[in-house]
Structures are given as structure tokens and as C-alpha cells.
Structure 1
Amino acid sequence: MGRLVYSYLSSLDGYIADATGGFAWARPDEQVLGFINGVERDVSTYLYGRRIYELMTGWETDPDIATQSPQSAEFAAIWQRADKIVFSRTLNDVATQRTRIEREFDRATVQAIKDGIDGDLAVSGATLAASAFRLGLIDEVQVFVSPMLAGGGQRMFPDGLSQRLALRGERRFANGMVWLRYEVLH
């Protein structure tokens, strides 16, 4: 059975995008991207909402993205190798291989996916992750904290969420980012 991991790059004050929707301040450098690649190798399936899926498709559909650096090329290969499930009521077609659409994000569907894989699942998108938290499905949280105070925008965690966590790993990077890995205590 796989673990469901919620991982994101965030500002120190907990935003994944600022008030203008920008997140360039969270762009990982080569050291951080290399570490991300090591973490992502264990992911066999990505769970996405429509918007984050459409943002991520470039890792397969735009060859220029992978040529930015050796670490970018490695991430593109990791991402393309994994299965992707997009939870959307409006998306009719997918632009990438190994991708399917599910209409409802519910406990039974996600638990069946978790039970049926050997690797980890990664949930991306704050809205989808909030639903997974409310359903008690998230097993681990990983945060790449950027040395930035965004001051507003899209929060990584929903308001009203109360959850006990246990620190299981940490790492500092030369660019000032810090990676934190927490087990969700049920």
C-alpha cells in the first residue's frame, strides 16, 4: 500500500502563490531540484486537480522545459514515468500519457488507489490536498520552505485544519530553502 504525500514549495508564511498568483520566488535551484528528484523517485502516482495538472503537463508536452538543466531533464523523466490521475468535473481530455480522469475525489476512490500501488502517491494542489486532509487520507507532509514572506495569496493549508504532525526529516539548502518532512499522526 502506498503513502499519500502532500508536498509543495511554500513561502515561510505558508503561501504557495502570492496575491498576484506568482510563485517565481519558490523556484528551486539545481541543488533543491536534485533533492526533489530524489524524493520524487518514490512516487508512482500523482493525484491532481485540473489547474495543477494543466500547469504540470509541460514536463511532457514542452521539450524545452527538460532541456533547461540536467536536473530538469531528470525530473521530466520521473514525472513522465509516473501515473497521473486528474480529479475534475470539467476536464474532458488529457494531454499526457499514463493519465486518466476521475470525476469524484472521495475516500473510497483514493483508498482504492492507495491500496493498489507499490509506490507513493503525491497529491498536488491546495484544494485537492484540503479534501484529502478532511478525509483523513494524507500520510505525510513535505514542505520546501522558501526564504520569502509572500504576505497573501493561495495558502498551502486550508483555514480550520488542525492536525498533529511528527517531524521525520529536514534539510537546509545553500539558497536558503529548507525541506521539512512530517508524518501525519492519526
Structure 2
Amino acid sequence: MGRLLFSAIASLDGYTADSEGTFGWAAPDEEVHAFINDRERETGTALYGRRMYETMRVWQELPGPDDPPVIADYARIWRDTDKVVFSSTLDAVTTPRTRLEPVFDPVAVRSLVDDSSADVSIGGPTLAAAALRAGLVDEVSLFVVPVSVGGGTPALPRATFLRLDLVEERTFTSSVVLLRYRVSGSAR
């Protein structure tokens, strides 16, 4: 039985993208990227909403000739992972090992996770918010970048109560801090 894991790179004030929708400030250095690669290597399936899928599908074409080994490693991991995209606006997906679902069905997602022999990741704060509200997420990991962006897309859903238990913290050389929590109380 797998677990449903939500990870996000967020600003210190809790945003995954700033008020202009940019997230260049969140680009991980090689140490953080290698750590994320090792975690993602254990994932069997990744769940995405449309916007996150459109952002992530570039990994199908990477690495470029000047990219460091950590980029090539993540590209291999991404290509080897099954993907489910939840979107009512996409007509088709353009990457292998990817299927399109028109709606996010919490019962079907719970079944997918329960039937999985590996962990399942959920990418993007909008889709993760739906899964958190449905009580599906087992763990939340935030890679907190030492910047404050003042607004934008929140990493965690607003107006949603979550009870979280800290299970890991780590500070990287770049001052990025990993905070990993087990979700111990249902959303309300």
C-alpha cells in the first residue's frame, strides 16, 4: 500500500509562485535537487493538475547538453514515473506513461494509492488542496526557500484546518529548510 505525498518548494511566507505567477526564486540548487531526486525515485505515480503538468512536461525533453547530471537524473526519474493528469480543459496529454482524467475523484485516488506498491505524489498546490480537503494526503513536505514574496499561490489551502506532526527537518547549505509532516488530522 502506497502513501499519498505532497511536496512543494515554497517561500518563507508560504507561496509556491509569487503574485505575478513566477517561481524562478524557487529553483533548487544541486544539493536540494539531488535530495528531491532521491525522494522522487521511490514514487510510482505522480498526480498533476493541468498547470503543473504543463510545467513539468519539459522533463520529457531534458536534459540539454549543458545541464548538470542532477538534471539528467531527474529527467530519467520523471520519464519512468506513471502520471495522471486531472483536467477538464485538456483534450489530450503529450507525454508517454500519462493518462488524462476529466475530474478529480477522491474515491478513485484513494483506491489508486491503496493499490499501489509504491508511493504516489501529488504535484501542484491546487490539486493538493483538493486532496488535502478530502483527507487523502498522508504527508506534506515543504522545501522553504529563504525569500518572502508577499503573495501569490499558497502552498497550502486557505481556510482549511490541517493537523500535522513533524517527522523530519533538514537545513541545506543554501539555507533552504525541509519540513516534512505526517498529516494526523483530517481537513475541515
Same fold at TM > 0.5? yes
TM-score range, shorter chain: over 0.9
2: distance between equivalents of 1:87 and 1:184?
23
CA contact (8 A) 1:61 1:96 kept: no
Q: CA deviation at 1:93?
A: 1.3
1:112 aligned partner: 111
Q: CA deviation at 1:63?
A: 4.1
Matched, 1:39 2:39: yes
Q: Which residue of 2 aligns with 1:52?
A: 52
What CA distance in whole angstroms lies between the structure 1 residues aligned with 2:66 and 2:35? 18
| Identity across the alignment (%) | 48
Residue 153 of structure 2 aligns to a residue whose secondary structure is: strand
**CA distance in structure 2 between the partners assigned to 1:157 and 1:93 by the alignment:** 28
Partner of 1:132: 131
Aligned to 2:76: 77
Shift, 1:106, TM fit:
1.7
Show CA shifts across 1:3-41 (max 9, x none): 001100000000000011111111100011011111111
Question: What is the distance in 2 between the residues matched to 1:127 and 1:61?
Answer: 25
What is the Cα deviation at residue 155 of structure 1? Answer: 0.6
SS across alignment from 2:10: strand
What secondary structure, in the 3-state scheme, does the structure 1 residue paired with 2:168 have? strand
Q: Aligned equivalents of 1:126 and 1:143: distance in 2?
A: 11
CA distance in 1, matches of 2:123, 2:51: 10
2:55 & 2:25 partners in 1: Cα distance? Answer: 17
Report the Cα offset of residue 42 of structure 1.
Answer: 1.1
| CA RMSD between the two structures | 1.2
Whether 1:155 and 2:130 are equivalent positions in the alignment is: no
**Contact kept? 1:47, 1:85, Cα under 8 Å:** yes
Asked whether the 8 Å contact 1:142–1:181 carries over to 2, the reply is yes
Q: Distance in 2 between matches of 1:129 and 1:122?
A: 9
Aligned to 1:123: 122
- Stretch moving more, 54-63 or 145-154: 54-63
> Would the aligned equivalents of 1:67 and 1:73 in 2 still touch at CA under 8 Å?
no
**Partners of 1:10 and 1:26 within 8 A in 2:** yes
Could you tell me which runs of 5 or more consecutive residues in structure 1 were left unpaired when the two chains were aligned.
none
CA-CA distance at 1:90 after TM superposition: 1.3
Give the total of aligned pairs.
Answer: 185
1:61 corresponds to: 61
SS in 1 for 2:39: helix
Read off the aligned partner of 1:140 and give its amino acid letter.
E
Distance 1:81 1:113 in 2: 18
Give runs of ≥4 in structure 1 deviating > 3 Å: none
